[in-house]
Amino acid sequence: MIQVEKLTKSYGSYQALNEITFSVEKGEILGFLGPNGAGKTTTMRILTCFFPATSGKARIAGYDVFEEPHEVKKRIGYLPENVPLYRDMKVVDYLSFVAGIKGVRRQDLKMRVGNVLDECGLSDMSNKMINELSKGYRQRVGLAQALVNEPEVLILDEPTVGLDPKQIIEIRKLIKNLAGKRTIILSTHILPEVSMTCNRVVIINKGKVVAVDTPQNLTANIHGASRLIVKVDGPAQDVISGLQKIQGINRVNKKESSNGISEFILDTEKGIDIRRDIAAGIVRSGWGLLELRPVEMSLEDIFIKLVTKE
Amino acid sequence: MRNFYLIAKKELYSYFSSPVAYVVITIFLVITGYYFYNLLASFSTLSFQASTNPAIAQQQNLLNITETVVRPLFGNISMIMLLMMPLLTMRLFSEEKKSGTIELLLTYPVTDMEVIIGKFIACFVVFLLMLLLTATFPALLILFGEPEIGPTITGYIGLILTGAAFISLGIFTSSLTENQIIAATLSFGVLILFFMMGTSVSLMGPTIGNIMMHISLIGHLEGFAKGIIDTTDIIYYFLFIVLFNFLTLRVLESKKWRG
């Protein structure tokens, strides 16, 4: 549905995007992840034909964004980061204007606007001025204007930024409900959002793609070693030397100890499960094994790892 | 076609949902009305004096209501337009740039040209309404006196063309900046320069003076107020409007190559 190939954008001498390449399948939700200033908004502005790239290619629904912007524009819904709306208009008038301009036929216009008001939970607000709405509702109006022409592709730039937790959950639910019918690109720097809503993640940093994968694969594959936490009732020094003798353990780190109970973090070799050996070893030495569990690396850790690698 | 209409409708909605249009139209009518009153009052004083003083009565053109009221009125209206029109045009692009709505507007399936023409038409409609309300002045004259209808109508045609020219310039300056005050100041400046050019003609040599006379806005309006429709004048306004709309289009397109 969306193909991006070697997209590059420079502002004078500053390179905002450096040959980024990725693609999105029909019906997929792609998370676009990166720290502030990584090039997320720039990419989205290129995809929405707001400005062209310095070089590279991008196609949406088979249309090139540089050669046939009009065809692309008809097929996308875009929600910019700061949700710019005409604040001096009523919600329903604004949505009717957008629907008209996006080419919704006159006879369908009323119905489409009605549907999108329902879909975004705005029915009670339809006669209010956009001015008077709270941030959460303005966000919904922003989403509604993106959806009003039933576009094949949705491009959402940080759709949950600045909302309260309840609103965030509602907006996420809304986005999830749209999945399947539409292809969605969603940028964010909030990581749980990605694991909750997206099928696939593109992590970019300083204008370069550093990883593309599913959130699950990213958490599973990224670390070279797996980690275990062990809590043992026994003399700390002896336990350390005892653990170091077990094959497959690369490193033993003592985290804390109190009342003779110590907690250790073990870095083990990837691909082998040595939890049985550890348990057996500890029991054989006559200490008490209180806890033994693997540590999942969170998306946060992975993100920091990828972004700070250089 | 539909897009012009939708954008124009949306802009008109904005003009009238905020106090902008009402304030500008009201002030415009107050000042033009005041000028009209002054012109008419001095005309009637003059008429009274002429009834007792034959020396004044012999000055034919002073007692011609078209010459002493209608023609100066058009000159005054055009000056007040110069002060008011930039206030109507200044927000058209500046506000969209400042609030960021231009980003959404330009990612909708509309062309830059449709956006410009839509905005132009909306502002032109407000201006026409404003000008139409001043038609009560000549209407009063027709009711109580005998002004010449021809020059009154051509005078209005001249004002309409002048207004359209002001709008195209105002939209251009508005597209240059996200600050409405800068947009308005630029259009005041350029408009006043176009007016003043006509006054310095006598100081220049014949060639340059002639060129400046042709570029100046005043010279072209005068003909209309006298009742003359000259194709040169019409072409002048037409080119003025096309030039500045074209420049606005270039400014909008410049985002494509500017870093």
A48 touches chain B (CB under 8 A): yes
pLDDT at A68 over 70: yes
B69-124 pLDDT, tens digit per residue, is: 888 899 899 999 999 999 999 999 999 999 999 999 989 999 999 999 999 999 99
Are B101 and A89 a contacting pair at CB < 8 A?
A: no
In this prediction, residue A277 has a pLDDT band, given cuts at 50, 70 and 90, of confident
Are A86 and B100 a contacting pair at CB < 8 A?
A: no
Which residues of chain B are at the A interface, by a Cβ-Cβ cutoff of 8 Å? 2-3, 6-7, 9-10, 13-14, 17-18, 99-104, 106-111, 255-256, 259
What average pLDDT does range B184-191 have in this prediction? Answer: 94
The rounded mean pLDDT for chain B is 89
Are B17 and A89 a contacting pair at CB < 8 A?
A: yes
Segments forming the whole domain that contains residue B234? 2-256
Which phi and psi (to 5°) does residue A16 adopt? -80, -35
Supply the pLDDT for residue B26: 96
Cβ–Cβ under 8 Å, residues A59 and A2: yes
What average pLDDT does range A115-144 have in this prediction? Answer: 90
Stretch among A80-89, A291-300, B18-27, B239-248 having the lowest mean pLDDT: A291-300
Supply the pLDDT for residue A94: 94
Supply the pLDDT for residue A310: 47
A299 touches chain B (CB under 8 A): no
Are B259 and A84 a contacting pair at CB < 8 A?
A: no
In this prediction, residue A295 has a pLDDT band, given cuts at 50, 70 and 90, of confident
Supply the pLDDT for residue B61: 67
Supply the pLDDT for residue B259: 52
Stretch among A89-93, A96-100, A149-153, B121-125 having the lowest mean pLDDT: A149-153
Nearest to B108 among A85, A88, A101 (CB): A101
Cβ–Cβ under 8 Å, residues B151 and B71: yes
Nearest to A80 among B17, B100, B256 (CB): B100
Question: Which chain B residues have a beta carbon less than 8 Å from that of A49?
Answer: 106-107
The rounded mean pLDDT for chain A is 84
Tell me how far apart the alpha carbons of residues A42 and B239 are, in angstroms, rounded to a whole number. Answer: 38
- ipTM (interface predicted TM): 0.86
User: How far off is chain B from A56, nearest CA to CA, in Å?
Assistant: 15
For chains A and B, CB pairs below 8 A equal 64
> In chain A, what are the domains?
2-220 (3.40.50.300), 223-296 (3.30.70.3190)
B124-181 pLDDT, tens digit per residue, is: 999 999 999 999 999 999 898 888 888 899 999 999 999 999 999 999 999 999 999 9
Find the helix packing angle between B180-196 and B149-176, rounded to 10°. Answer: 140
The end-to-end CA distance of chain A, in Å, is 32
Nearest to B109 among A74, A88, A97 (CB): A74
Supply the pLDDT for residue A299: 65
Cβ–Cβ under 8 Å, residues A188 and A171: no
> At A231, which helix (H) or strand (E)?
strand A226-233
Question: Which chain B residues have a beta carbon less than 8 Å from that of A103?
Answer: 109
Secondary structure of chain A: what % helix, strand, coil (to 5)? 35, 30, 30
Measured CA distances, B82 to A269, B92, B117, B242 (Å):
80, 17, 21, 19
Please report how many Cα atoms fall inside a 13 Å half-sphere around the Cα of residue B88, on the Cβ side.
36
User: How far off is chain A from B14, nearest CA to CA, in Å?
Assistant: 6
Greater pLDDT, A297 or B95: B95
Supply the pLDDT for residue B133: 95
pLDDT at A272 over 80: no
Measured CA distances, A243 to A64, A246, A260, B30 (Å):
59, 5, 16, 94
Supply the pLDDT for residue B116: 95
Closest Cα partner for B123 from B153, B154, B95, B151? B95
Percent of chain A exceeding pLDDT 70 equals 93
Tell me how far apart the alpha carbons of residues A44 and A82 are, in angstroms, rounded to a whole number. Answer: 13
Cβ–Cβ under 8 Å, residues A87 and A133: no
Tell me how far apart the alpha carbons of residues A11 and A52 are, in angstroms, rounded to a whole number. Answer: 12
What average pLDDT does range A105-120 have in this prediction? Answer: 90
A255 touches chain B (CB under 8 A): no
Are B103 and A70 a contacting pair at CB < 8 A?
A: no
User: How far off is chain B from A83, nearest CA to CA, in Å?
Assistant: 8
Tokens linked to A29: 């939700």
Supply the pLDDT for residue B196: 81
pLDDT at B44 over 70: yes
Which residue shows structure tokens 């109006």? A141
- Tell me the one-letter amino acid at B254: S
Closest Cα partner for A25 from A252, A182, A220? A182
How many domains are there within chain B?
1
Supply the pLDDT for residue A112: 92
Are B17 and A11 a contacting pair at CB < 8 A?
A: no
pTM: 0.84
Supply the pLDDT for residue A165: 83
Are B107 and A145 a contacting pair at CB < 8 A?
A: no
A130 DSSP 8-state letter:
G
